[in-house]
Amino acid sequence: MWHGLNAWLRRMWTALLPGRVERDIEREMSFHLAERADELRAAGLSEAEAERRARARFGNPTLQAERTRDVHVVRWLDTFVRDVRYAVRSLLRRPGFTATVVLTLALAIGANAAVFSALDAVLLRPLPFPAADRLVSVSEVSDRTTTTGIPPARLEDWRQLNAAFEAIHGYYVEDVSETSGDLPERVRRAVVSPGFLEVWGIGPVRGRGFTEAEHRFGGPGAVIISERYWRRRFGGAPDILERTVRLGTASVPIIGVMAADFRFPDRDVDLWAPVHVDAPYAQTRESPWYTVVGRMKPGVTPVRARADLAAVQAQLGERYPDTDRDIGIDVVPLKETAVGAVGQSLWLLFGAVTVLLLIACTNITALLLSRGAHRREELAVRQSLGVSRAAVAVQLLTETGVLALAGGVLGVGIAAAASGALRAAGVDLPRFDEVAVGGRVLLYTLASVVAVTLLCGFLPALRMAGGLAALRGGAARAQVSARNPLQWLLVGAQVALSITLLAGAGLLVRSLHELSRVEPGFDAKGVLTFRVSGSWGETANYAAIVQRIDATIDALAALPGVEAAATSGWDVPGVPTQWHTTFEVVEASTDARPIVAEGRAVSAEYFRTMRIPVLAGESCRRAPPPGGSEPPAYEMMVNHAFVERYLSDRPSPIGLHLREVDGPIPASRIVGVVGDARERGLDQEPGPTVYWCMSAPNPMPYFVVHARGDLGALAPSVRRLMKEIEPLRSVYEVAPLEERIGDAFAENRLRMLLLALFATTALSLACVGLYGTLSYAISVRRREVGLRLALGAPRRGIVAHFLARVAWVVAPACVLGIVLSFASSRLLSGMLYGVSPSDPTTLLGVVALVLAVATLAVLVPVTRAALLEPTKVLRDP
């Protein structure tokens, strides 16, 4: 039989690749003719006559060649078509069975294809730039701080001294107001250093890139706008290159439009503007400015690029020891930074749906096996009529193939719908807008169909075609399939795999639950957050910014219904960020250990607004607006964790001074201690934190407003107020703080929901498998059970017998499932909060759930067996 399958495969090969066979046949026949002609020539015939005779004797070579090939092709195609027809007919005769299998497969294949479409769009496909694998993000690593912005003078040095990059550029993003319309509109502007278009390798769809002159201080103004902004603001006007935008007080000509799919630095950028490289303020080696992206030369690896830049930076360290020493370089493929942590989630989900597909396959294998047992007679008849075992096996495989194909076609429909849902649900996740069912997904689905056919079809085909020596009677039927260790093995595998999936989902559910129970240490309820547009250009007059922000805070606090208003400089509390800074205590000896803490800049009203309690000392006061361009000395607050960690050996932290190492802000005095708050993310333990009481660390800090009553009503009154006091600025990112914190964990929730969905599907499949296999085992043994009952066996015994049978399968499966989930818990690392990957409560809960559901699934058939009426069963034919 092996041989038969082998021959069948070879014939299929021939039918698919006819060219090779034809060439072989032709070569063989021309050899024959040449030999014959030689022989005839040796017998004395002329060249031409010898060839003619040789041909005549051989017959029509073309016809022969065709006949020979036909042996390969026609027969194969013929049987194939016949097999398919027969398969469709016999499947249609059992619509219930067919529908079950096709639907199961459609769900499993569809889910698989949908997750693959996301995986493909986000991780596998290159970023939408030419030679995107050469794009890397470049950052510096230093013990002193974790801020990653590159100062402009340093980037300029890198650009001139490196040997590894074709082009390297930096950008920063800010929100500014466009004021040519009736109302100022917030626009998102990316300010880019020279080399912008060279790095991305893409030109504008209209217009041109920036010239050198436009990158000079005092040079002509220019912006490139995004396609989206072109449509939104200018209705796609064709004369766009003659238009201008009004930013603040200056009108700037539009020189280009970028294509719609150009979404860097992010998809919300409306316009790109050139940085002025020779401006006096751009000569700093200290202020963090740029996010840097480089395009490596062909053939250069990130490792080499990193070594090259590190060497350059070592030189700079010697030349500028104050600012540039001890700075390491990190070079990471841009795709990794662009995709971020979503990659891990996607691989996890992909693993989960693959397991789901495996479960579906085992389930269908078991179904096919039981069905095959019913068909034994039909198959035996066919065999005794002379159909070879191989042909029967191929026939069965074809049936599975037809089922898998139908499942695949339906599955593609499901995948299309699901990937639409994924796109909508993952709207804030990187590259999710590219998720779609395309050619690659279709190919993947086709591959799944083939894999499913072989996985599900092989065992039943071998089993049934193999064991059919002769026609046997009904008694033999029971003998053949009563025990069926193979089927029970498959059911066990399903149970084990679903336990693994459920354990993963359970851990994620528990994580989210723990997260929701966490005490954040601040009160997010009733807090509205928003920003007001500003430009980094305003930093030339720092005092004006402070005055403006303070005035805005006061006006907000005076709104009816508002309890308190404040700013939180760099980010809103509760949304994950990292902003570590190194401090030193001015009063301490110089060799004191370094103090690393979270640095936050907040206005004096912040603690009252966020309801973070002051534990010692007093809340800081608003600093008077600074006089010159130098920032003034601020007051400072520290949190409880900071005191515990660094100042516990001192009688009181109040009155000490802290200075940021290598930072621009002068030493500041600690005036109070506040409670710990989970400001850098609800899933993060509150670490040592230092608060500078500065209302405006930058021109566009976040405003936080605590109100009684409805936040929906507050938003419009905030907008009205801002229009009154700052008519040239736009208000944006208006959202309740709770919503923002929720959004920050949107990915966690999506991941948890999907995994839970897959796991419950897996569990229900496993239960169907359990139910089906047991019902079948019982139906086969009906007579035996009846006989036992008639001979006086207690019904309890019958029940116990079948339950023991199930327990023998389910118990080891549970153990195996737990082992598997331990083994795969590494996949979940970094996704869990407040629960360990081997959390016994979760695992026991999952096992209990599986046992409960499994018991329900087996109870029905077992009860039916116990209630059999012996007289009736035994009298049945």
Partner 1 sequence: MAPQKNDVLYGTLAMLVLKTLAVNGPMHGYAITNHIQRVSADLLRVEEGSLYPALHRMEQRGWLRSEWGMTEKNREARFYSLTRLGRKQLVLEEENWARLTEGVARVLGYA
Select 21 or 752, whichever has its Cβ closest to partner 1: 21
Select 8 or 158, whichever has its Cβ closest to partner 1: 8
* Beta carbon of residue 387, minimum distance to partner 1 (angstroms, whole number): 15
Select 72 or 186, whichever has its Cβ closest to partner 1: 72
* Beta carbon of residue 386, minimum distance to partner 1 (angstroms, whole number): 15
* Paired sense of beta strands 614-617 and 635-639, if any: unpaired
Select 33 or 311, whichever has its Cβ closest to partner 1: 33
Select 71 or 381, whichever has its Cβ closest to partner 1: 71
> What is the spatial distance between Cα 50 and Cα 28, in angstroms, rounded to a whole number?
19
* Beta carbon of residue 463, minimum distance to partner 1 (angstroms, whole number): 22
* Beta carbon of residue 19, minimum distance to partner 1 (angstroms, whole number): 16
Contact call for residues 353 and 419 (beta carbons, < 8 A): no
* Beta carbon of residue 820, minimum distance to partner 1 (angstroms, whole number): 42
Select 31 or 217, whichever has its Cβ closest to partner 1: 31
Distance between alpha carbon 581 and the CA centroid of its chain, in Å?
31
Encoding tokens for residue 28?
A: 């063989």
Residue whose structure tokens are 């995709």? 339
> What is the spatial distance between Cα 252 and Cα 219, in angstroms, rounded to a whole number?
12
Contact call for residues 257 and 204 (beta carbons, < 8 A): yes
* Beta carbon of residue 53, minimum distance to partner 1 (angstroms, whole number): 11
Comparing CA positions, the residue from 99, 117, 88 lying closest to residue 407 is: 99
Select 6 or 244, whichever has its Cβ closest to partner 1: 6
Select 76 or 432, whichever has its Cβ closest to partner 1: 76
What is the number of other CB atoms lying within 10 angstroms of the CB of residue 15? 17
* Beta carbon of residue 38, minimum distance to partner 1 (angstroms, whole number): 8
* Beta carbon of residue 68, minimum distance to partner 1 (angstroms, whole number): 4
Encoding tokens for residue 863?
A: 């009860």
- What ranges make up the beta strands (E) of 483-587? 527-532, 562-568, 580-585
Encoding tokens for residue 491?
A: 């059911």
Contact call for residues 782 and 873 (beta carbons, < 8 A): yes
Encoding tokens for residue 569?
A: 């400089």
* Beta carbon of residue 29, minimum distance to partner 1 (angstroms, whole number): 6
* Angle of the 840-866 helix axis to the 485-517 helix axis, nearest 10: 140
Select 23 or 319, whichever has its Cβ closest to partner 1: 23
Contact call for residues 356 and 762 (beta carbons, < 8 A): yes
Select 67 or 720, whichever has its Cβ closest to partner 1: 67
* Angle of the 389-425 helix axis to the 2-16 helix axis, nearest 10: 60
* Angle of the 47-58 helix axis to the 18-42 helix axis, nearest 10: 130
* Beta carbon of residue 10, minimum distance to partner 1 (angstroms, whole number): 7
Select 10 or 85, whichever has its Cβ closest to partner 1: 10
* Beta carbon of residue 21, minimum distance to partner 1 (angstroms, whole number): 9
* Angle of the 95-119 helix axis to the 389-425 helix axis, nearest 10: 50
Residues that bind partner 1 (CB under 8 A): 3, 6-7, 10-11, 24-25, 27-29, 31-32, 34-36, 38, 57-61, 63-65, 67-68, 70-72
Query: What length does the chain have?
Result: 877
What is the number of other CB atoms lying within 10 angstroms of the CB of residue 765? 23
Concatenate the DSSP letters of all residues of 589-602 into one string. -TTPPPEEEEEEEE
Q: Which residues contact 782 (CB under 8 A, 6 or more apart)?
A: 865, 868, 873
* Beta carbon of residue 3, minimum distance to partner 1 (angstroms, whole number): 5
Select 83 or 178, whichever has its Cβ closest to partner 1: 83
Comparing CA positions, the residue from 571, 417, 572, 393 lying closest to residue 466 is: 393
Select 30 or 251, whichever has its Cβ closest to partner 1: 30
What is the number of other CB atoms lying within 10 angstroms of the CB of residue 260? 13
Torsion of CA 366, 369, 373, 374, to 10 degrees: 70
- Which three-class secondary structure string do you get for 641-681? HHHHHHCCCCCCCCCCEEEECCCCCCCEEEEEEECCCCCCC
Q: Which residues contact 357 (CB under 8 A, 6 or more apart)?
A: 108, 109, 111, 112, 448, 452
Select 38 or 739, whichever has its Cβ closest to partner 1: 38
* Beta carbon of residue 787, minimum distance to partner 1 (angstroms, whole number): 45
* Beta carbon of residue 42, minimum distance to partner 1 (angstroms, whole number): 12
Distance between alpha carbon 768 and the CA centroid of its chain, in Å?
30
* Paired sense of beta strands 165-178 and 291-296, if any: antiparallel
Comparing CA positions, the residue from 455, 368, 372 lying closest to residue 108 is: 455
Select 61 or 219, whichever has its Cβ closest to partner 1: 61
Select 35 or 630, whichever has its Cβ closest to partner 1: 35
* Beta carbon of residue 842, minimum distance to partner 1 (angstroms, whole number): 55
DSSP state letter for 406: H
Q: How many CA atoms lie within 13 A of 173 on its CB side?
A: 14
DSSP state letter for 483: S
* Beta carbon of residue 427, minimum distance to partner 1 (angstroms, whole number): 57
> What is the spatial distance between Cα 805 and Cα 819, in angstroms, rounded to a whole number?
22
